[in-house]
Amino acid sequence: MLPADEGDALWIEYDGDDGRVHRVLVDCGRKTAYRAVRARLATAERAGESLDFDLFVLTHVDADHIEGAVPLLGDRLFPPDRVRDVWFNGWRHLQGERVPPDDRLGARQGEYFAALIRDRGFAWNAAFDHRPVAVEEQGPLPTATLAGGMRLTLLSPTWPRLEAMREAWARQLRDRPVGHPDHIEPGDWRKALEVLDRKPALQPDALGSDWVASWDPARFDRYAAAPYAEDAKEPNGSSIALLAEHGGLSVLLAADAFPSVLEQSLARLRTERRLAAPLPVNAVKLSHHGSQGNTSPEMVRAVRCRHWLVSTNGTRHQHPHPEAIARVIEGARGRRPVLHFNYRCDESKVWDDDDLRVERDYSTVYGPREGGLRVELES
């Protein structure tokens, strides 16, 4: 979990069946994350190597996931021939369209993302025949196997979530008339990102206000039992969430997805795989940085997992929220859950409490104050 401020940038490496190291990057926000990725690419270049990526996933369009992806896609150290595929649902995918690789569009209209992906010749949703990355209502969940043998199963988004995003997108674009500095046309990615970042209405809400000031470990049970109300932000709902499996190990990469969508897909997966019990996974990257609206008690119980990963430095939204973390600790009781925080920040360090750890039977791992945590899974 690279330092990404309040966002995500997940650098995944695994030993492939071919004996080589394989790499997947999931999101690259914010600019801090771009600098961390670039530093790694530059170090490799100085050593005379270049790093290949099997896949780059842009889970959704919130700035805390995508801001650093814009400069990265344009960076000479991240050339298209080193990136086998980019998964990202662009404006045209939200319409359900296929965007064929030879279709040159958008640069003139300022479709920044499309332009970068296309003009530099990145593969785009190639594993999905250039169609939207989406879970259909019927049939088996979509899967893709990367060159090194890692198998990815798509858990989110579903079509209703993409349609909601499309409507939200168009609605937001209509709120400023043509000529206004904030006016954007659908598909004008560069402008859209710029405006999205300035729009508090599109940011996840900071309902928690200042919970850190009133933190009290004795309130644990109240946090754990607080009624759950699901996130309703359309961009989060449009998140690409994946189950990544290789060499007997698995990680659920939840992006900022809705737990209700994940639970449904996990239930389908249990049916497909004829599992009577919750799906065993080695690690879960918590949805939406540990927000209280994106970790439901049911979601925690839908998997059998010890390692729970949280990516955020607590800025802007005061994530992770204690209700989400308390639900994880309660729901994973008996499995001695381990919480991995990529930043030691005010919001995460409240869990660094000996009494609470003993009483609730969990442990904690922290990245440094400046962020960044390597989590190693071994079978």
- Give the footprint of Zn ion on this chain (CB under 5 A): 64, 256
Report, in Å, the least distance between residue 336 CB and Zn ion.
Answer: 28
Question: Which C-beta is closer to Zn ion: that of 14 or that of 56?
Answer: 56
Angle at the Cα of 279 from the Cα atoms of 263 and 224, rounded to 5 degrees: 60
Report, in Å, the least distance between residue 222 CB and Zn ion.
Answer: 26
Report, in Å, the least distance between residue 11 CB and Zn ion.
Answer: 17
Question: Which C-beta is closer to Zn ion: that of 8 or that of 330?
Answer: 8
For residue 217, the SS3 value is: helix
> From residue 150, how far is each of 13, 249, 284, 305, 337 by CA, in Å?
10, 10, 16, 19, 25
Contact (Cβ atoms closer than 8 angstroms) between residue 3 and residue 370: yes
Report, in Å, the least distance between residue 239 CB and Zn ion.
Answer: 8
Cα separation, 195 vs 181, in Å, equals 9
Question: Which C-beta is closer to Zn ion: that of 22 or that of 285?
Answer: 285
Nearest of 159, 126, 106, 157 to residue 56 by alpha carbon: 126
Provide the Cα torsion 202, 165, 72, 254; round to 10°.
Answer: 90
Contacts of 198 (CB under 8 A, 6+ apart): 182
Question: Which C-beta is closer to Zn ion: that of 66 or that of 133?
Answer: 66
Question: Which C-beta is closer to Zn ion: that of 291 or that of 364?
Answer: 291
For residue 188, the SS3 value is: coil
Report, in Å, the least distance between residue 203 CB and Zn ion.
Answer: 10
Report, in Å, the least distance between residue 173 CB and Zn ion.
Answer: 21
* Amino acid letter, residue 262: L
Question: Which C-beta is closer to Zn ion: that of 59 or that of 364?
Answer: 59
